[in-house]
Amino acid sequence: MDILKWTATELAAKIKNKEVTVMEAAQAVLDSIEKKERHYNCYITVDNEGIMKRAEDIQRRIDSGELTGRLAGVPVAIKDNMCTQGMLTTCASRMLGNFIPVFSSEAVLNLEKEGALIIGKTNMDEFAMGSTTETSAYGETKNPWDESRVPGGSSGGSAAAVAAQECFFALGSDTGGSIRQPASYCGVVGMKPTYGTVSRYGLIAYGSSLDQIGPISKDVTDCAAILEVLASHDKKDSTSIFRNDTDFTSALIEDVQGMRIGIPKDYLGEGLDAEVKEAVLRAAQVLKEKGAVVEEFDLSLVEYAIPAYYTIAAAEASSNLERFDGIKYGYRTRDYEGLHNMYKKSRSEGFGAEVKRRIMLGSFVLSSGYYDAYYLKALKVKALIKKAFDEAFSRYDLILGPVAPTTAPRLGESLADPIKMYLGDIYTISVNLAGLPAMSVPCGKDSQGLPIGLQLIGNCFQEKKIIQAAYTYEKARGVFGTPTAEKEKV
C-alpha cells in the first residue's frame, strides 16, 4: 500500500472506508518529508510535535460521524503567507521570523472545518514577491523534477511539496501567477479562483486587489474538491463575494462538446519556448478532438499587462508592508537611535532585496507628482485589459494558452535580471488584473523531462467551465506521473 500515490480525494475515501487511518496518512507524509526535505526544502515549518495528536483527534471525529467531508483526514500544506493560529507564519521573511499569529486565515479554517490535517507551512518567495522561491529568507526550494531548477514561485514550496508527495495537496496564493506558474513548473494542478471567491482574511497581503488563495493539487478532481471547501462568503473580507455556484465538483464532467475555446495569438508569439508551444497546441488539439471549437484570436494589450501589474502590485505592496515596523510584531533591530532610525534599520534588515526593490518602486509611483502618471495610468490600463477580456469572453467560453514561456529555469538564473523575471509572468498576470479564474494543468514535458503547464482561463465566476475542460483534457491525457515515479524508473 503506497499511501503517497493516492490523490487527496482517494485518500479521504479510503479513510472513510477504514482502509487506512489518518495517523497512517500523517506518518506517511512525515516519513516522506523526513526523506526528501533536505533535497527540496519545500517547508519552512513542519508541525512534527502537534501533527499526530491532531491526526488522532480528526480520526476520532471521523469515526464518530462528525466529520464526513471530502477532505477529512487528508494532510495539507499551507503557504507561509497564510496565518495559522499558534503556528509560525513567516512569509519567508526575516521580518516575520518569530511571528505566531493569534488567528487563522479563513481559508485555513475552512479546511480545518472539513477535517483536513495541516502539516506545516511551505516555502515561498519573500512576501510572495518573486517567481522562483529564491527570494525566501529560508533558502530556495528545489524543483523535485530536477534539483538544479527552481520550482517556480511564489508558491514554489506548495507546488514542490505536492509534486514530491510531501503532502496530498497545498494552498497557494496567486497575485500575478504565483499558483499557476509553480504548478506548471512542478507538473501539478493549480488554480486561481475568481477574485473574491476565497476569503483573503488572514492572507498576509502583497497586492490586495490582485491576491487570491487557491488550491495546488495532484489532479483536477482534487482541485475542484478543494476549491469547493475553500470558497466561502466571508463577512470579514469586504471583497469577498457571495456565490451560490460553488459546487465545483459538479463540473467534473468529461465533455467539451461545442465549448468555444480561444487561443490568443499574442500568447504564442515571440519569447515562447518551442517545446512549450508544441505541448500547449497539442493539448488544444486534444480538446478539439473531444468536440471543442478551438481557434486563435487577437486578445490585444498583452504587452501592457506586465507594466500595469508591477505598478499596481508594487504600489499596494509598499502600503501593505508599512505595518512591518518593529513595534507590534516581527523583527526589531538591536541598536537604534530614535524612532525613525528604528523603523529604517528594522525594515532594511528585516526585508530582502526583492521586497525592498518593490517597496521603493511602489512608494515612488504613489509619491507626489507621479501618482497620475504611473499609478492612475496603470489603473486605467487595467480597465482596458478587463474590457479586452470581456470582449474575448463574449466569443469564447475559455481562453487557452501556456502558463509560462519556458519550463523551470535553473537556480540563480532569474534573480540576476529582475525585469527578465517579470517578463516570465506575461501569460498569467492579466488574469489577476481582470480578476478572472484560471487553472494550470500539466500537458507534457520538454526534452529534458521538465513539466509544461496548460493554462485555461475563464470569465469571472466561470470556474466550472475551466474544471470541466481541464477534467476532460486530463482524462484524455492519461497519467502524468510524478518525479518520484520518474526517479524510480531510472
Q: Which residues are catalytic?
A: 79, 154, 178
Task: Give the three-class secondary structure for 477.
Answer: helix
In the window 183-202, what residues touch other proteins (CB under 8 A)?
195-196, 200-202
Over the window 91 to 130, marking each residue x when it contacts other proteins by CB under 8 A and - when it does not, the resulting string is x----x-xxxxxx-x-------------------------
179 lies in the site for other proteins, by CB under 8 A: no
Query: How many residues touch other proteins (CB under 8 A)?
Result: 98
Least distance (Å) between residue 357 CB and other proteins: 5
Q: x/- contact string, 242-281, with other proteins (CB under 8 A)?
A: ----------------------------------------
- Asked whether 230 and 243 are in contact (CB, 8 A), the reply is no
Q: Which one among 13, 52, 293, 379 touches other proteins, defined by CB under 8 A?
A: 379
Query: What span, in angstroms and rounded, lies between the C-alpha atoms of 385 and 178?
Result: 20
Distance CA 454, CA 342 (A): 47
Q: Which listed residue (9, 41, 318, 407) binds other proteins by CB under 8 A?
A: 318
383 belongs to the binding site for other proteins (CB under 8 A):
yes
Interface with other proteins in residues 7-46 (CB under 8 A): none
Q: Is 435 in the site for other proteins (CB under 8 A)?
A: yes
Give the residue from 15, 8, 162 showing the smallest Cα distance to 79.
162
416 binds other proteins (CB under 8 A): no
Distance CA 222, CA 90 (A): 27
* Burial category of 484 from C-beta neighbours within 10 Å (exposed 0-12, middle 13-18, buried 19 and up): middle
The smaller minimum CB distance to other proteins, of residues 166 and 316, is found at: 316
Q: How do 398-402 and 293-297 pair as beta strands? A: unpaired
Interacting span for other proteins (CB under 8 A) from 39-47, 69-77, 364-372, 399-407:
364-372
Pick from 316, 397, 463, 474: which binds other proteins (CB under 8 A)?
A: 316
Inter-CA distances, 230 with 117, 226, 250, 352, Å: 14, 6, 15, 31
Instruction: For 258, list phi and psi in degrees, rounded to 5.
Output: 80, 0
Least spacing, CB of residue 426 vs other proteins, in Å: 13
Q: Supply the minimum distance, in Å, between the C-beta of residue 464 and other proteins.
A: 18
Quick one: which of 206, 310, 393, 480 contacts other proteins (CB under 8 A)?
A: 310
Name the one range near other proteins by CB under 8 A: 177-185, 263-271, 291-299, 428-436: 428-436
CA 203 vs. chain centroid, Å, equals: 13
All cell numbers assigned to 327: 513595534
Q: Please give the Cα distance from 393 to 248 (Å, whole number).
A: 20
Q: How far is CA 222 from the centre of its chain?
A: 15
Please identify which residue in 418, 481, 484, 486 interacts with other proteins, judged by CB under 8 A. Answer: 418
Q: Which stretch binds other proteins (CB under 8 A): 31-39, 52-60, 81-89, 284-292?
A: 81-89
Binding to other proteins, residues 337-356 (CB under 8 A): 337-345, 347-348, 351, 353, 356
Residue 20 or 204 having the CB closest to other proteins: 204
Using a CB cutoff of 8 Å and minimum separation of 24, what contacts does 369-378 make? Answer: 374/311, 374/315, 375/311, 375/312, 375/315, 377/311, 378/307, 378/308, 378/309, 378/311, 378/312, 378/315
List 367, 410, 449, 487, residue binding other proteins (CB under 8 A): 367
**CB neighbour class for 208 (10 Å; exposed up to 12, middle 13-18, buried from 19):** middle
